[in-house]
Structure 1
């Protein structure tokens, strides 16, 4: 169930990144572009977790756990769109 949540959250953020910056009607500044990079990294990590990939290294498995990914993705997206 957590993997489905990661896929849905990653898909939602990917669609938001596709449509919302263009809907604002202006170019991204350098700082906004940097913040968008963080959101893209979070989307990629959510897709990795949601696809069911299993890491051999324990530290990598902990890094890609939903307990860390979901809040990190929410914070990155909130900072990007509030900026």
Structure 2
């Protein structure tokens, strides 16, 4: 179930990152550009978790934990929306 949620969240965020800036008809600010890189890394991590990768290393398991990925991606996406 967690993998499906991660995959759906990744698909939603990637679609939003493609569509929303054009819908707002504004250029991204420098702060918005600065937040894009960590947000895209989180979206990639959500795709990796959602597609079923099971890392063997402890640190990689912690980095791909939905308990870390979901709140971080939602907070960062909301911050990006607010600052851009």
The match for 1:49 is 49
Query: 1:12-23 counterparts in 2 under 5 A?
Result: 12-23=12-23
Query: Whole-Å Cα distance in 2 between the matches of residues 49 and 75 of structure 1?
Result: 18
TM-score scaled to structure 2, two decimals?
0.93
The match for 1:58 is 58
TM-score scaled to structure 1, two decimals?
0.94
Give the CA RMSD over aligned residues. 0.9
Segment drifting more, 34-43 vs 4-13 = 34-43
Deviation readout 1:3-50 (Å, 9 max, x if unpaired): 000000000000000100111112112221111222211110100100
Secondary structure of the 2:28 match is: coil
- The list of structure 1 runs, each at least 4 consecutive aligned residues, that deviate by more than 2 angstroms after superposition, is none
Query: 1:62-77 counterparts in 2 under 5 A?
Result: 62-77=62-77
The match for 2:33 is 33
| Unaligned 5+ runs, structure 2 | none
